[in-house]
Chain A
Amino acid sequence: MTELENRSQSSEEFLKGLWKENPVFISVLGMCPALAVTNTAINSLAMGLATTFVLVCSSILVSLLRSIIPKQVRITAYIIIIATFVTVVDFSLAAFTPTIHKELGAFIALIVVNCLILGRQEAFASKNKVGLSVLDALGMSLGFTFAMLCIGIPREILGSGSLFNMPLFGESFEPWIVMILPPGGFFMLGFLLLGFNWYTQRKEKNAKILDA
């Protein structure tokens, strides 16, 4: 693993997940179950943090065990490890924050099938040292949490006229109820990706003009 030490890229491993390789905006990974709970900012944040915990813990364990897990059974082993930490999160939330646990319901357990988590084990943690794996996991999950909030905050503001349960507008505000219903999730992510595409395509165009 000397090749990684040669490039002092710790900070890069951390930062890439936030923007350059943001799991949601670039590869639309891990949205399946998570989108359902982005109807309020607080739920989005809780989902993001739960995912962060699972991703970081499983990355540590997978990275530690990377030399003793044979290739043939690695996916099974990863899934066992991930499912373990998801169960830990599920129980802990139920024990300490029952209200949030009730809001998120079965979607906490569904973190197990979040493609982002298994993807990082396969692509990074199984090949790198613990330190780097943690940085990678932290960066990716912060990028994920950031994306969740990007969806959750506008949905709550428009759909309920509040942010983190604090009312923002006066009585006269008529909430866009559709935003906190399922279609709002599709629309919000759709428009975010649209904005992201627009930004990258414009940047590419500008770069071409500069080249020419």
Chain B
Amino acid sequence: MENLIWIFVSALLINNFTLAYFLGLCPFLGVSGKLVTAFRLGLANIFVMLITGACTFVLNTWVLPYAPYLRLISFIIVIASSVQFVEMAVKKLSPELFKALGIFLPLITTNCAILGLALFTTNKGYGFVEGMIYALGAGAGVTLALVLLAGIREETRILNIPNVIKGTALNLIIAGIISMAFMGFAGLFST
């Protein structure tokens, strides 16, 4: 149990996917201008990551021991197609949920954070429960990073900012400061 909590907190705060591993930067820098959008994008991310966690477990347990060289290809293809499949199911079963997440799903499926999750889960040798907790933590971590940056960006919109720093440069520097703040979480579970 203690171990599971550590896995969750580690993925959420200490080794945050976006702020410590630079994964999922594209939507982080490109989309997160609005708080609401960022939050929904984050939710979609959690959703896809949970599917990814399940797929990774299935592949690692029953397929990849026989063909380790297919790891990358199978991760990408299986994750992309299962997300599409679940997307169709959600569209049928819960149109509201689909409306909220739908447009983001194709954007996220080919995201580095998703493949990163699959690879890290494999490298760390997590089983099913650990993998799902890790996926949940990582997804929540990405959401947290997206929301934090979006919040700050909403504030900066009404400020007088020199032209030369506007855009990606400013976002990166803000991200750097958030990332520095997150370093304070290190050692959280070690005493």
The interface of chain A, by Cβ under 8 A from chain B, is 28, 31-36, 76, 79-80, 83-84, 86-87, 90-91, 105-106, 109-110, 112-115, 118, 178, 181-187, 189-191, 193-194, 197-198, 201
- Is A201's CB under 8 angstroms from B173's CB? no
A44 to chain B, nearest CB (A): 13
- Is A32's CB under 8 angstroms from B22's CB? yes
- Is A182's CB under 8 angstroms from B179's CB? yes
Q: With the chains together, A35 CA to B166 CA distance in Å?
A: 21
- Is B112's CB under 8 angstroms from A185's CB? no
Known: A113-B110, A197-B165. A187 touches B72 (CB 8 A): no
- Is B23's CB under 8 angstroms from A33's CB? yes
Asked if B139 is at the interface of the complex by the 8 Å CB criterion, the answer is no
Asked if B147 is at the interface of the complex by the 8 Å CB criterion, the answer is no
Q: With the chains together, A84 CA to B167 CA distance in Å?
A: 35
Closest 5 CB pairs of A and B: A186-B176, A190-B172, A190-B173, A193-B169, A106-B119
Q: With the chains together, A98 CA to B75 CA distance in Å?
A: 24
B55 to chain A, nearest CB (A): 15
Known: A32-B26, A182-B22, A183-B183. A113 touches B172 (CB 8 A): no
- Is A36's CB under 8 angstroms from B21's CB? yes
A85 to chain B, nearest CB (A): 10
A-B contact pairs, 13 of them (CB 8 A): A28-B29, A32-B24, A32-B25, A35-B22, A35-B25, A36-B21, A79-B77, A80-B77, A109-B71, A113-B112, A183-B176, A183-B179, A190-B171
The interface of chain B, by Cβ under 8 A from chain A, is 19-26, 29, 69, 71-73, 76-77, 110-112, 115-116, 119-120, 123, 163-165, 167-173, 175-177, 179-180, 183
- Is B76's CB under 8 angstroms from A79's CB? yes
Known: A106-B119, A110-B112, A194-B164. A91 touches B169 (CB 8 A): no
Q: With the chains together, A40 CA to B172 CA distance in Å?
A: 19
A156 to chain B, nearest CB (A): 17
- Is A201's CB under 8 angstroms from B177's CB? no
- Is B176's CB under 8 angstroms from A190's CB? yes
- Of the listed residues A84, A86, A110, the one surrounded by the most CB atoms of chain B closer than 10 A to its CB is A110
Which residues of chain B have C-beta atoms less than 8 A from A32's C-beta?
Answer: 22-26, 111-112
Residue of chain A at shortest CB distance from B111 = A113
Given contacts A36-B23, A182-B179, A183-B183, 15 further A-B contacts (CB under 8 A): A28-B29, A32-B26, A35-B25, A79-B73, A87-B72, A106-B123, A110-B119, A113-B76, A113-B110, A182-B21, A185-B176, A190-B173, A193-B172, A194-B173, A197-B164
Q: With the chains together, A110 CA to B123 CA distance in Å?
A: 13
Q: With the chains together, A33 CA to B168 CA distance in Å?
A: 17
Known: A32-B26, A83-B72. A182 touches B20 (CB 8 A): yes
- Is A186's CB under 8 angstroms from B169's CB? no
Which residues of chain A have C-beta atoms less than 8 A from B23's C-beta?
Answer: 32-33, 36, 110
Which residues of chain A have C-beta atoms less than 8 A from B175's C-beta?
Answer: 186, 190
- Is B120's CB under 8 angstroms from A106's CB? yes
Q: With the chains together, A66 CA to B159 CA distance in Å?
A: 49
Residue of chain A at shortest CB distance from B120 = A106
Q: With the chains together, A186 CA to B168 CA distance in Å?
A: 11
Contact residue among A76, A80, A91, A186 (Cβ-Cβ distance under 8 Å from B179): A186
- Is A187's CB under 8 angstroms from B176's CB? yes
- Is B112's CB under 8 angstroms from A190's CB? no
Q: With the chains together, A35 CA to B20 CA distance in Å?
A: 10
- Of the listed residues A31, A105, A118, A194, the one surrounded by the most CB atoms of chain B closer than 10 A to its CB is A194
Residue of chain A at shortest CB distance from B113 = A32
B78 to chain A, nearest CB (A): 12
